[in-house]
Structure 1
Amino acid sequence: MAIKKKFMLLVSLIVVLASFMTACSSSSDSASGKKDDGKIVIGAAMPTFDDKWVSYLIDSLKATAKENNVDLKMVDAKNDSSKQLSQVETFVTQGVDAIIIAAPDPSAIQPAIDAAKDADIPVVLVNRMPSDDVIKQVYAYVGSESVQSGTIQMEEVAKMLGGKGNVAIITGELGHEAQINRTKGNKNIIKKNLDMKVVRESTGNWQRSEGMKVMENWIQSGDKINAVVANNDEMAIGAIMALEAAGKLNDVVVAGIDGTPDALEYVKSGKLKVSAFQDPMGQGKKSIEMAIQAAKGEKLADKYVWVPFELITQENVDTYIEKWKSAGAN
């Protein structure tokens, strides 16, 4: 009888121990954020949900994750680097398999990189390009090469001007990678055309309203300007509004960058002569693909994954209008 009791007690202990281990395992899975079905879990830290261009990047991330049976966790930093750091730290605590980051301020991204690196979680950066030193520390950077956009934009403007004339450049927020390199691409082409020169340069901080103010000031100065080349479409549209109000739009070639839905309507009407399409759908797709590779431990030959800019003029604008319609743009 004593032996039977001991046996029953041993069985009971085994059952209790097994239940405890199962509970611990379930708790660990829950804390890690990993799915019981074996799905790859990716955290995506976005700079803001309010930006129109970024909204298409987000839609592409979601669609590509769904196509690849990936569990995607998306957060909005509301353009606050410290908030994004906290969100990345939460992803680390959850034990996601990879993290995608589009930084509000690429110069302030290092703490978020460190948090992921300390936990051996690979990071894919998208669209907002930090320094080369930061990119060396992550799995990949996915984006479009800013110098290329400024180059193809200005090449087309130079062609329209016959290689001569006065150019005014409206730049984005000073110090941003896109502002520096889009402007660099512009000036590289101007240097090759000896009869072209930059007569005005000022920042419009990426905003339509500020681009308009800059153009209004230039109009009042009385300087002869043959072309206005802006670092993005929003500032170009602002310049168009100021030129139109002053009755001078027909005398000036205006160019932008990004190929946004709003801008394409201006291209179609002939008011905006040039833009360069930056593809949020392509960047979103590549980012998820790189994050999946990172989660699987696959090696990359090159950390820079470029989604090329594409020149837009009135001749091919309908192609890009259709691209946006396919992406669900209004």
Structure 2
Amino acid sequence: MKRKKNLLSIMMVFMIAVLTAGCGSQPSAAPSAEGSQQGQGSAANSDKIVIGAALPDFDDKWLSYLQDGMKQYEATQENVEVIYVDAMNDASKQLSQIENFIQQQVDAIVMVPVDTTSAPNMVEKANAANVPIVVVNRQYEGVEKATAYVGSESIKAGLMQMEEVAKLLDGKGNIVIMNGQMGHEAQIKRTEGNKQIIDKYPEMQVVLEGTGEWDRAKGMALMENWLQTGKQIDAVVSNNDEMAIGAIMALEAAGKLEHVIVAGIDATPDALEYVKSGQLKVTVFQNATGQGKGGLETAIKAAKGEQVEQFNWIPYELVTKENVEEYIKKWQ
């Protein structure tokens, strides 16, 4: 009888232990939306490399080609995810996006700055968080503090563009310069390159200068205003193709296009058609897809802890009617 009582006691202790263990083990909680977003970085998923791409304006035509270059390269990579965000040309919005990337623990950041004034602060924040940051396309003083820079030397585009225009004008004539968004590195340096060449020719001078903010419609409006001044204009030298196309449209409407040389920069698909037709005499190929690819490739290497070059230059190339077919093929 005593043995039965002992056996019963042992069984009761065992059952209590099982029930207690069952009550103590809780099911794993489903991740919250915030936790899921935080987990996009390497801290939560060591198999996937996540890159944050902070772009200034999804609606900008040239920058859309740069983004295409990133997406094309992304498609060739295994276990790489790129999160693209649009700052809508708002520097404070871009700063917030960079801070969000850091909070999400992305493995690296690719940034085309909205402007060169706000860029150093964004790079500083990434550096403080030990997140590699690659600046693309827009160079500025102090860019060497970023992990790397990928882009082209804007002043060279201005030099190449104006040298060809000077040749077409036989070294004399009245020049109008269409600036992009004032304060942008490309606007400053391309115009500086233009003026360095103009200064070499005593019979060439800048008679008008203004901004079309990189935009075709604004370039057209600016050209219309200049035509109303009655000043003699021999060449329109534009910081980009979109404004140059706008100038062509205004000149054509006024019946003056055949008497004016128009030059742009970027060699976009639209611009190359104008070169082919002879309406745009000069453009300079800036390899948008090459910069996008190069920026993402560099960021991925940095995310893996590989050594990267501080400066990665994508060269400019002069485009005229003689070689335009070669560049049309690049976009096909």
Deviation per residue, 1:150-196 (Å, 9 max, x gap): 11111111111122222221212222211111011111111222332
C-alpha separation in 2, matches of 1:88 and 1:183: 30
- Tell whether the 8 Å contact from 1:45 to 1:77 is kept in structure 2 after alignment: yes
Q: What residue identity is the alignment partner of 2:323?
A: N
Alignment of 1:58-69 (within 5 A): 58-69=67-78
Does the 8 A contact of 2:281 with 2:321 survive in 1?
A: yes
| Shift in Å, 1:30 | 6.7
Q: Does 1:314 align with 2:321?
A: yes
Moved more, 86-95 or 152-161: 86-95
Q: Which residue of 1 aligns with 2:251?
A: 243
Change (3 A) 1:199 1:31: closer
- 1:118 matches 2:128: yes
Note the residue ranges of structure 2 that are not aligned, 5 or more in a row: 1-9
Q: Which has the larger radius of gyration?
A: 2
Q: CA deviation at 1:264?
A: 1.2
Per-residue deviation, residues 88-130 of structure 1 (Å, max 9, x unmatched)? 222212211101111222312344323322221010111233x
> How many Å separate the matches in 1 of 2:124 and 2:274?
43
Letter of the aligned partner of 1:269 in structure 2? Answer: S
Q: Which range is displaced more, 173-182 or 147-156? A: 173-182
Q: Do structure 1's residue 127 and structure 2's residue 131 form an aligned pair? A: no
CA contact 2:198–2:205 (8 Å) conserved in 1: yes
3-state SS, counterpart of residue 331 of structure 2: helix
* Change in CA separation of 1:164 and 1:33 when aligned onto 2, cut-off 3 Å: same
Query: Residues of 1 paired with 2:226 and 2:96: CA distance?
Result: 43
* Aligned mates of 1:222, 1:85 — CA distance in 2: 45
Superposition map of 1:1-330 within 5 A: 31-34=38-41, 36=45, 38-69=47-78, 70-129=80-139, 131-133=140-142, 135-301=143-309, 303-325=310-332
Q: Which blocks of at least 5 consecutive residues in structure 1 are unaligned?
A: 326-330
**Count of residues in Structure 1 that have an aligned counterpart in Structure 2:** 314
Q: Retained in 2: the 8 A contact 1:101–1:126?
A: yes
Q: Percent identity?
A: 54
Looking at structure 1, the residues matched to 25 and 189 of structure 2 have their Cα atoms a distance apart, in angstroms, of 64
Cα drift, residue 266 of structure 1: 1.0
Match of 1:328? none
- Please report how far the alpha carbon of residue 23 of structure 1 lies from its aligned counterpart in structure 2 after TM superposition: 9.5
Q: Which has the higher helix share?
A: 1
**Separation in structure 2 between the aligned mates of residue 251 and residue 147 of structure 1, nearest angstrom:** 27
Distance 1:245 1:29, change over 3 A: closer
CA distance 1:323–1:296, change in 2 (3 Å): same
SS at 1:33's partner residue? Answer: coil
